[in-house]
Amino acid sequence: MTRSLLLLCLLFMGFTLPAQSPELVIPGNPPYQIRDVEVSPDGQLVVSSSGAQVRFWDYASGKLLRTLRIPNGSVFTDNINHLAFSNDGQYLAAVSENTFSLLSVADMAVVDQREIYPAKLDRTRFLGDVTAHPSRNEFYFFLAGGKECQIAMYKIGERALFTNTKYTYPGEEPSPAKRLSFTPDGRQLLVTYLARREASIVDIYAATASALPGGQAILPDGNFLYEDRQDGAITLTVAKTDGQLVWRKRITHPDIKKLGKLYQNFVADAGQETFYYGLEGEGMISGNYRTGAGVAYVTKPGGSSNSVLQLYRSGKLLVTNRDPNRIAEARNGQVFRHFGAPLLSVSDLRTTPDGLQFAMGSRSGEIRHVRLTDRGPRQAIISPVGKSEHLAISRGGRYVASSHPDGRVSWSDAQTGSTVMVTLAYPEPRAVGLDEQGNMLVASPGGVAYYPAGSTRASWTVKGNDYPKAFAEHWFVAFSPDGRQVLSNDFVEVDNPGQATVLTAYDTRQGKVQWRSRIPCGTFQYRPDGKTVIGGSFLKDVVTINARDGKVIRTYTRRDGTHFEAAFNAAGDKLTGQERPTEGSTDETITVVGAASGQIEQRLAGHQGTVNATGFLDGDFLLSAGFDNTVRLWDLRSGREAAKLFFFDDRGDWVIITPDGRFDATPEAMKYMYYTLGKEILPLEQLYAGFFTPGLLGAVLSRSEGPVRPLSIGQVENPPSVSIRYSSGTRNLIVEDDQTEEITKVLAQAQDAVLTLSAVGNGGGVADLRLYHNGKLVGSGARNLIVESDSEADLERDYRLQLLAGENHFRAVAINGQGTESAPAELIVSFQPPKPAAGPAAEDVITLHLLTVGINQYKNPRYNLNYAEADAAGLEAALLSGMGGIVGQTKVYSVRNQAAKREDILTALQQVTAAAKPQDVFVFYYAGHGTMSEGAEPDFFLVPHDVTQIYGNETGLAQRGISATELRTLAAAIPAQKQLYILDACQSAGLASSFARRGAAEERAIAQLARSTGTHWLTASGSTQFASEFDELGHGAFTFVLLQGLSGKAAGSDRRVSVNELKAYLDAEVPELTQRTNGVPQYPASFGFGQDFPLSVH
């Protein structure tokens, strides 16, 4: 071996490892193509590379542990194409176009990095595949400068890089090494090149190399695989090292004729003696590599279209796909599961600078209209016609238009949900624009065309210059505030690129050209008065133009690498750009530039990757979308990131996270979320109580702190641990919170059971223990005796209860003083009671327990309401009718007006507790006032009839109100495992400002109440809103929609209305009704953690 140092440009970089604290993870898949996938030797980790990112995945759970970005200064060279684990699994090598990086697997961090070539575009110098030596602590990788090739050796223990072998490329035009394969003895290394038939065999001990045409891989048995392509067929040959033929197969398939020269990935399964040879597209060749039996062209599992194949263990193949880019595990030829969450990768974004609405396009082909509300983003898929190339949204946000890569143009009305495809006057549309009324201009190289709102045909057209290179230029369209003038750019071929842009103004009423001017503008916007236009260009100019005659008023030219985008604020005095200091550098920093001065006023940094689009919003906010799968909301008053938003493919789910660790999300989105601490996975529930903040977006937009300032994420104490001990007769079983994927199952012989929960604080103490039976909190009711006992644990409790027929799913958690939960200990106990001699016994009949409270008349008449009684009576009638065919009997508890004092409501709840059985259903409906207290420990309260002062009398509220803390105890004590609580709770209209401070805290209290009890809660309005009452409806708006949903309008395909279906119906219809009747949308809040169950059948 030649031990000379590499005679190349070599840069050593030192790294320090960051201190770890819990990190909230939404495991999104990358926006870039997945280049490589590797599995650690112990099978615990899967790593993937995409762009400049390396993702570490926990194999057992499929959860993302960390995304590590390894930029090297240029988008031309920072794609990490190849990965390899060391033999001991302690290190990972990552190779980009020009850089070798060594990563510590334990810390998931870079510990050494070598820049082999400068970070710039150079097609003659590149790095190739990397692999670990079979028996030595060394990495080997390929590099080439022209036709001179090298096999480099990196000694991990010494952190030293050497040249192993130099040789001349065996073909005419050098190509990167796509694959390196060692012989089992580690002496010979097969180098297979990308897009070429050539291959080389390198003796790393002798430091010699020779050509090996057609060589593709070294198989696990030491034999060589060769390939030859001729006449639309692939011939695979396996031979021994001495050239002796083992087998040869010629494979034909129609798709093979379409393949180019890009040979793809290869992996062999030694356990099953099977190989997988991936081709372009959805095909691969597979069969027995020892005998050649069954070798044939087959479709990749799930129709995966990317190039990466990797083996986890025998029989478990990992494959990757594109659009979306994701990893799938296949078993027996079928996709078994996918890694990561289906996050929406936003490719384009356009905002309404005078509002809180925007349109966004995605790489999956959806176009969405989004409105930011106090309750979170409200989304509508408005155009299912494919990917967006250029988006436009009207002032006011009602209309959205888009040009598409296939040459079509769509126009959509977000309010009605209608979409039309227009008939193009000129082909290859490059940009679209909209005025406030929805009128549209489409710009193409051939000319511009004007379409009245909703029309598929143009009312006027003007021919353009038809510049042959126009497809590469930046096009844009802008309407004047009054809609009477529209601007578009066209291009002419001139020697000076700065003079190629022709800005043209048109009269929208007649289609006449008002003026043309050669101004270097790639993006432009009218100021509010319509008299001037501000333009920005990729040539870094900021231009002010007279809208009447097109004359330039002033020009500012920047030389700091700022490139401007199509984003102006409502006043037209600010625009955005991205900084690109050098050619090829990534544009991750957003700049806000003053249009009058041309100077940078703010720099906004945070995106981990290129920023795709930016746009201003009302209230001094800015929105940006990046290649890191995030949409970020920036507060321009503070110059800081206010929140990150995540959206999901094919659904309306979302997540919002603030820099201090608070989060809000839809229930489905929360299923994908968790925390990581290094390689340890912490369930979301462990930190849920401290950081879940319903109505968080409203708090961000109003710049309020929210109900509680949470702990810093770095101050979270260690969570406790918990175990379940089950005993029945002589059976005794302990289940720890070991986070294994399989839940222990037990077959019970008797219906009576004792479960003992033991918790250890791990330094943080134990404040509470909770046991959930089929998702519902077990309380201290007569049939659920709880006994605390002395033991070595910090806290231990015995629960004596009766099992239900079938599977009984138990989940135990321990909670410390900070509200941090343990990982759950889970157990499934199955019980089959003896078959009865006759029909079902009376105790087996399902009963609906329905408690409705309606308070129109309060002791203090200032709090009187109009429709609370009618709402309660209507709900009562709807459920009695709808559930008649579902339950065997009903018990109704009606509480109204003067009879709705604290003791009256509690008495009714106690009656339900005494009568209900575990298989029963309990529905609690409350129509009256509700509020949040303001003491040292604030709590949510229902306000009974005899509370005479809702605000300012904390003692009176505590004595006569019913708190969320009491409701949790009462809900836990009621044996019925299916429980729904509906609160149509109003606030005193005279105290709106006070309620604005209380609203978010109220939602948080109800959310925690729902989660801690394992029950469903529906509430009439979210933070800072008042539940609306309307004379014309005869009900409160919330209950009116509720009754409509129960009548069948919320029913699914099975003609049943379930709790979750009712939630979805309320979420969609209440805002629309209140917007239509009151001019302000009211957003209901729903929180559910119990079993879904039907409420009516139609």
Q: Give me 826's structure tokens.
A: 């889970």
Is 723 found in the same domain as 816? yes
Pair 889, 1056: CB distance under 8 Å: no
Q: Domain of 899: which CATH number?
A: 3.40.50
User: Could you write out the DSSP letters of every residue in 446-457?
Assistant: TEEEEE-TT-SS
- CA 1039 to each of CA 447, 466, 757, 910: distance values in angstroms, whole numbers, following the listed order: 54, 59, 41, 26
428-442 pLDDT per residue, tens:
898 999 999 999 999
Is 883 found in the same domain as 824? no
Share of the chain above pLDDT 90, in %: 45
* Domain end (from 831, 865, 887): 831
* Domain end (from 765, 798, 831): 831
Is 853 found in the same domain as 742? no
Is 853 found in the same domain as 811? no
Per-residue pLDDT, averaged over 477-500, amounts to 80
- Domain span holding position 949: 847-1026+1088-1097
Per-residue pLDDT, averaged over 199-224, amounts to 94
Q: Give me 652's structure tokens.
A: 């309306």
Q: Does residue 599 lie in a domain region?
A: no
Q: Does residue 150 lie in a domain region?
A: yes
Task: Kindly indicate the confidence band of residue 1045, based on its pLDDT and cuts at 50, 70 and 90.
Answer: very high
Q: Quick one: pLDDT at residue 15?
A: 39
- CA 582 to each of CA 496, 539, 586, 587: distance values in angstroms, whole numbers, following the listed order: 22, 14, 9, 10
Q: Which position has the higher pLDDT, 735 or 809?
A: 809
The gap from C-alpha 1021 to its chain's centroid, in whole angstroms, comes to 26
The domain total for the chain is 4
SS3 label, residue 1005: helix
Nearest-angstrom CA–CA distance, 247 and 762? 61
Is 163 found in the same domain as 103? yes
Nearest-angstrom CA–CA distance, 446 and 429? 9
Q: Does residue 207 lie in a domain region?
A: yes
Sheet strands (E) in 270-356: 274-278, 283-288, 296-299, 309-313, 316-321, 326-331, 334-338, 346-351
Task: Kindly indicate the confidence band of residue 557, based on its pLDDT and cuts at 50, 70 and 90.
Answer: confident
H or E stretch covering 1061? helix 1059-1078
**Edge-to-edge strand order for the sheet containing 654-657?**
611-617, 621-626, 631-635, 640-647, 654-657, 663-665
Q: Does residue 652 lie in a domain region?
A: no
Pair 884, 902: CB distance under 8 Å: no
Q: Quick one: pLDDT at residue 704?
A: 82
Q: β-strand 889-896 against 847-854: which pairing, if any?
A: parallel
* Average confidence score pLDDT of the chain: 84
Is 231 found in the same domain as 198? no
Nearest-angstrom CA–CA distance, 1095 and 875? 11
- CA 144 to each of CA 134, 173, 175, 195, 984: distance values in angstroms, whole numbers, following the listed order: 24, 11, 8, 15, 71
Share of the chain above pLDDT 70, in %: 85
Which of 805, 708, 796 is closest to 757 using CA atoms?
796
Longest Cα–Cα distance in the chain:
101
Pair 50, 30: CB distance under 8 Å: yes
The residues near 1019 (Cβ < 8 Å, ≥ 6 apart) are 982, 983, 984, 985, 1003, 1006, 1084, 1085, 1086
Which of 120, 23, 180, 24 is closest to 665 using CA atoms?
24
Task: Kindly indicate the confidence band of residue 617, based on its pLDDT and cuts at 50, 70 and 90.
Answer: very high
Q: β-strand 233-239 against 224-230: which pairing, if any?
A: antiparallel
SS3 label, residue 50: strand
Q: Does residue 770 lie in a domain region?
A: yes
Q: Quick one: pLDDT at residue 1057?
A: 93
Which of 398, 348, 308, 353 is closest to 50 using CA atoms?
308
Which of 511, 557, 552 is closest to 533 using CA atoms?
552
Gyration radius (Cα) of the chain, Å:
33
Is 778 found in the same domain as 724? yes
* Domain end (from 158, 182, 213): 213
Is 154 found in the same domain as 90? yes
Q: Does residue 309 lie in a domain region?
A: yes
State the helix-helix crossing angle for 1037-1044 and 868-882, rounded to 10 degrees.
Answer: 10
Residue 937 predicted with pLDDT over 80: no
Per-residue pLDDT, averaged over 369-377, amounts to 92
Please tell me what DSSP assigns to residue 470: G
Is 796 found in the same domain as 731? yes
Q: Quick one: pLDDT at residue 837?
A: 60
Q: Give me 8's structure tokens.
A: 């190349």
Q: Does residue 585 lie in a domain region?
A: no
Q: Does residue 40 lie in a domain region?
A: yes
623-681 pLDDT per residue, tens:
999 888 899 999 999 999 999 999 998 778 999 999 988 999 988 899 899 988 888 88
Is 104 found in the same domain as 207? yes
Is 193 found in the same domain as 285? no
Nearest-angstrom CA–CA distance, 995 and 983? 16
Residue type, 1005: A
Residue 783 predicted with pLDDT over 50: no
Q: Domain of 812: which CATH number?
A: 2.60.40.10
Pair 357, 372: CB distance under 8 Å: yes
Nearest-angstrom CA–CA distance, 872 and 868? 6
Q: Domain of 58: which CATH number?
A: 2.130.10.10
Please tell me what DSSP assigns to residue 863: G
Task: Kindly indicate the confidence band of residue 2, based on its pLDDT and cuts at 50, 70 and 90.
Answer: very low
Q: Quick one: pLDDT at residue 706?
A: 61
Q: Quick one: pLDDT at residue 735?
A: 58
Task: Kindly indicate the confidence band of residue 993, based on its pLDDT and cuts at 50, 70 and 90.
Answer: very low
Is 754 found in the same domain as 827? yes
Q: Which of 206-215, 261-270, 686-695 has the lowest mean pLDDT?
A: 261-270
Burial class of residue 715 in the structure, from the number of CB atoms within 10 Å of its CB (0-12 exposed, 13-18 middle, 19+ buried):
exposed
The gap from C-alpha 719 to its chain's centroid, in whole angstroms, comes to 26
Please tell me what DSSP assigns to residue 824: P
Q: Quick one: pLDDT at residue 740?
A: 47
